[in-house]
Amino acid sequence: MPAAAEKGIRDLAKTVFSRRYALPVGALAILLSLGTPPAQAQNLFDLLFGGGVRRQRDFPPPPPPAPNKPIAKISAPSYYTYKVDALVAVRVPQQAIVVDAAAPGPAMPGLGLSGLGFGEAMKTLDGFDLSAEKDVADAIAKHYAAHPEFVWVSGFHVNGRAEQALRVLGNAASYGLDPAEYSVSVPLAAFSMDDMVARQKELAAFELTLSARVLRYARDAKRGMIDPNRLSGYHDFAPKTFDLATVLGTLARTFDTTVYLESLHPQGPEYQALRVELEALRASAENDIIVDPKLLLKPGETSPELPKLIALIERKADADFATEHAVLIALSRGKDVYSPEIVPLIKAAQVAHGLKGDGVIGPRTVQALAGVSKADRLGKVIVALEQLRWHPSDLGPRRVFINQPAFTATYYEGGVEKLSMRAVVGKPSNQTSFFHDEIEQIDYNPYWGVPQSIIVNEMLPRLRNDPGYLDRAGYEVTDAKGRRVSSSEVNWGAYGSKVPYNVRQTPSEANALGELKILFPNKHAIYMHDTPSKSLFQKDMRAFSHGCVRLQQPREMAAAVLGSSVQHVVTKLGQGHSSEMVPVKIPVYVAYFTAWPDKAGIVQYYDDVYGRDDKVKIAMEKTASVRAPAS
């Protein structure tokens, strides 16, 4: 390399290198004075300036970090399209026809004729078409195979047992059921002696049809007309074991058909109160003052619905309310402008009906003052009767009953309400399920194990931008083997649905579960608990949680289910995190009833916050449609 060129390169290197890397010029001069051979000149520049194009070819840069996986949100349970099983043909087993085990029946008074032989009569039913639910058809086949004899026929006539059954079926409407679904064509008492084969066929057809309809009624009374688990993923009821063949055998032996069939219905006072309400509604006239149920009216606004509401307040006022607010009522009559002087009257009426006195007239205020239309109330009661049939016949003398539409949790002892409080339930996007279980345990100063759905749907987006968030917020993160890891060390972007880490919030005043939780282990991860968000209990509509049930008085509820005192609970809370098993498991009903009797047995009505009643009605209508063609 010419000396001048080499000198130029050295000067340039001194300038650039010393400016870019702050290397002392003297040190650089020493390096360059070493007499770098021309063949190594490029390597020197590689060392100084990063190698240029040649370095990029020999040593490719590391690949960019993998992009975050798309977050696949965990969806809530869904509502299903209700499907009804098809009916099947009812068949009498061949052995019941071939082997006629029935002895001649009792003689007809005054005629001296012997009764029908069962097998002989069944032979006449060739071509007879009768359909029923599969379990009903199976029960009929099983019963008559073992007992080939009449249940509902004696001699050549319908017997007294059948007459009682027919009266019960005809009274199905009093239980919110449709008598048409249990109808049976009854043979006339008079018949022609000239055509005994026709009489045999008529009575044989009646025998099987009545058995099919009585068993349909029995299954509907005992476990409900529809299968609740086919409505949605929120409905969770264990199937009731119910041997219909045994029912038919019992009916064949009893002489009090009415008592037996009616005993299959729920026997609790709630069911009876709903039946009384149903009868009263059917006998009542429709409301003569109907207010728009969706009315929303604020002070200063105008609506023709306001005079109707004022009239209802005046009509429903008790003596004390009417006396205290007589002047305001008089000033408000007939006005459609919601003026400031009317606001105190509305607020007082809201408070009198158990609402927050905020002066804003909305659907809950309208419902409290105007009630629900007769048609709506009838629908709610019929749905409530059906839903009670999904439950145990007796709810139990000691129990906790959570009614989601009422936003209440109530403790019963000896069948009597002992404690009732406001509750917060799941918001419509995180609905509380409908099931029953048993209370087993109280956790004091609890940890909150964050459900996977909340980790993925709510926490994961934030953690991708702020991975240390959980560490700062008082959460613990553990891997699949239970080892603690720092939230900031996890590559949250690598997970889009299933996150292989457990997250729990440590006990503190900010803990989402508050100071205690009441456990009844279930697959929905639902329990009762305290909450730091006390202000929500002051709201009339209290659907705000992720699905669990928040209690306004958690200490009192814990003491009730433990059979202890509130002071005992306070003492346990002062001892830090711990758990206590309840002495006896207590039934808990996480229920959903828009019509339900209060402490005095008066049926109260509530908004269908999740829109579930319509699902039940549609399922009942579909079931009735499938049954309709059957004769």
Lowest mean pLDDT among 13-22, 202-211, 521-530: 13-22
pLDDT above 90 (res 11): no
Q: Which fold has domain 395-446+507-593?
A: L,D-transpeptidase catalytic domain-like (2.40.440)
Cα(375)–Cα(104) distance, integer angstroms: 53
Per-residue pLDDT tens over the stretch 262-303: 999 999 999 999 999 999 999 988 777 888 888 999 999 999
Q: How confident is the model at residue 317 (pLDDT cuts 50, 70, 90)?
A: confident
Per-residue pLDDT tens over the stretch 164-211: 999 999 999 999 999 999 999 999 988 777 778 889 999 999 999 999
Q: What is the pLDDT of residue 567?
A: 98
pLDDT above 60 (res 50): no
Per-residue pLDDT tens over the stretch 129-176: 999 999 999 999 999 999 999 999 999 999 999 999 999 999 999 999
pLDDT above 60 (res 16): no
User: Which whole number is the average pLDDT over 78-90?
Assistant: 96
**Crossing angle, helix 244-253 and helix 134-146, to 10 degrees?**
50
Domain boundaries, given as residue ranges, for the chain: 3-58, 92-281, 306-370, 395-446+507-593
At 526, give phi and psi (nearest 5°).
Answer: -105, 140
Q: Is the dihedral of CA 287, 288, 292, 298 positive or negative?
A: negative
Q: What is the pLDDT of residue 599?
A: 94
Q: How confident is the model at residue 126 (pLDDT cuts 50, 70, 90)?
A: confident
pLDDT above 80 (res 115): no
Per-residue pLDDT tens over the stretch 447-458: 999 999 999 999
User: Which whole number is the average pLDDT over 410-415?
Assistant: 97
300: left (phi over 0), alpha (psi -120 to 50) or beta: left
Give Cα separations from 441 to 66, 444, 520, 600 (angstroms): 45, 10, 7, 31
pLDDT above 70 (res 337): yes
- Write out the DSSP string of 113-172: -----HHHHHGGGTT---EE-HHHHHHHHHHHHH--S-SSEETTEE-HHHHHHHHHHHTG
The answer to whether 508 and 577 have CB atoms below 8 angstroms apart is no
Structure tokens at 489: 């060390």
User: Which whole number is the average pLDDT over 80-89?
Assistant: 97
Q: What is the pLDDT of residue 103?
A: 45
pLDDT above 50 (res 109): no
User: Which whole number is the average pLDDT over 348-375?
Assistant: 87
pLDDT above 70 (res 92): yes
Per-residue pLDDT tens over the stretch 597-631: 999 999 999 999 999 999 999 999 999 999 996 44
Lowest mean pLDDT among 59-73, 259-273, 291-305, 543-557: 59-73
The answer to whether 68 and 118 have CB atoms below 8 angstroms apart is no
Top pLDDT among 313 and 52 is at 313
Q: What is the pLDDT of residue 55?
A: 43
Cα(166)–Cα(168) distance, integer angstroms: 5
Q: What percent of the chain has pLDDT over 70?
A: 86
The answer to whether 273 and 391 have CB atoms below 8 angstroms apart is no
First-to-last C-alpha distance (Å) of the chain = 113
The answer to whether 384 and 274 have CB atoms below 8 angstroms apart is yes
